[in-house]
A = this chain, B = another copy of it.
Amino acid sequence: MRSFVAVVDAGRFQDAADDLSITQQAVSKRIATLERTLGVRLFTRTARGARLTVDGQAFLPHARDLLRAEERAIASVRPGHRALRVDVIGRRLAPASVLGGFHRARPEVELDVVTLFDADAAVEALTSGSIDASFRAVDRSRLSADIGAVRVFDEPVQLLTGPGHPLADAPSVTPADLAGHRIWMPGIVAGTEWAAYYDALAAAFGLGIEVTGPDFGTDPLLDTLAGSPSLATFVGELTRLVWPADQGLRRISVQDPTPVYPHSLIWRRDNPHAALGDLRDHLGTVRPRAGTWTPDWASAAA
C-alpha cells in the first residue's frame, strides 16, 4: 500500500524503490501482489515509468486516506499527542452529551474519549499525563493543589420503574417516599464515586439501595425493570436522550430535594494544552441550586 503511493509519487518503480530503500524488484512484487488481491491492474507499465490506470486513479485517494488513518492512529498514543484526551463517566450520561456539544461547536479540536474506573484513577491519570481532563464527581478537599476542578453540570437523578410498580403513576416522589422500596442498582462497582454517591444517598434518607450485582447491558436492564413490579432504579435524566424507546417504563422525577449527580471537570493546572481552556470556556460553571441534594464531599467541589 505504501509502495503503491510511493510509485505514484515517484512515477517510476525504480525511484519509488529508492525512496523506500528497497530494490526495484521488491516494489514490482509488492504491486503485483496488491494487484492480484484487488483483482485489478493499478499501473500501465511503459518504457519510461508507470502510469496509473483508471482503477489506480480511483484507488489512490483511498490509499492516501488509509496511510493518513494509520498516521493518526499511531499519533493517538504518542506522548505529546495533540488530541485532547478526556475521561467521561459513562458514555450515556451528561458528560458525553456535553462533549458532543463541544465537538459540534469546535470540530477542529480533536478529541479522544476514554472511560476510567473511578475518580481516583482519573486523578492518577491526570497526574501522570495520560489524560488531559476528566468528567467526574470528586471530593475537592482531597485534591492536591495542582489539580483544577470546576463543577460544570448537575444531572438530576430520576426514578425508573416498570408500569406495575406501586409508584409507577406518581407524578413525582420525594426521597422520603422511597423508604421501604427496593432500589436496584446493578452494575455499580464498589469503590467508585457512583457507589459512594448512592451510599450517601441511602444514608441521608434511610433508603435501601442495592449497589451490588452483576453489570447488565442497557436492554436487559430495561427489560427486567419492565417486567418486575417491585423493582425501581435511579437513572440520570440525560439517559432519556440516548436510551431506546421505553417499553412502558415510567420516569418519575424526584423532588424535595432533587438528588443531582455533580459532574465536575478536573484537569492538571500545568497542562499546556490549548484546547483545555476552550473546553472550560465552553462548559461554564454550575452554581448549586436550592432544592437539590448532593453528598457533602461532592458539594465541596464547587
Contact = CB atoms under 8 A, between A and B. Distances in A.
Contacts of A76: 58-59, 62
How many copies the complex holds: the figure is 2
Interface residues of A, number: 33
A63 B54 contact: no
A73 B34 CA distance: 12
A73 B63 contact: yes
Interface in A105-121: 112-116
A130 B65 contact: no
Interface string A142-169: 0000000000000000000000000000
A76 B40 CA distance: 11
B72 A65 contact: yes
B66 A73 contact: yes
A77 B65 contact: no
A274 interface: no
Contacts of A39: 77-78
Contacts of A57: 112-115
Interface in A24-75: 38-40, 54-55, 57-59, 61-63, 65-66, 69-70, 72-74
B72 A69 contact: no
B54 A116 contact: yes
Contacts of A63: 73
A59 B77 contact: yes
Given A57-B114, A116-B54, A62 B66 contact: no
A131 interface: yes
A125 interface: yes
A85 interface: yes
A78 B40 CA distance: 8
A62 B72 contact: yes
Q: What are the 6 tightest A-B residue pairs by CB atom distance, in nearest-first order?
A: A62-B73, A57-B114, A58-B112, A66-B69, A69-B69, A55-B77
Interface of A: 1, 38-40, 54-55, 57-59, 61-63, 65-66, 69-70, 72-74, 76-78, 83, 85, 87, 112-116, 125, 130-131
Given A1-B73, A54-B130, 16 more contacts: A38-B74, A54-B85, A54-B131, A57-B112, A57-B115, A58-B76, A58-B114, A59-B73, A59-B76, A59-B77, A61-B112, A62-B69, A62-B76, A63-B73, A65-B69, A66-B69
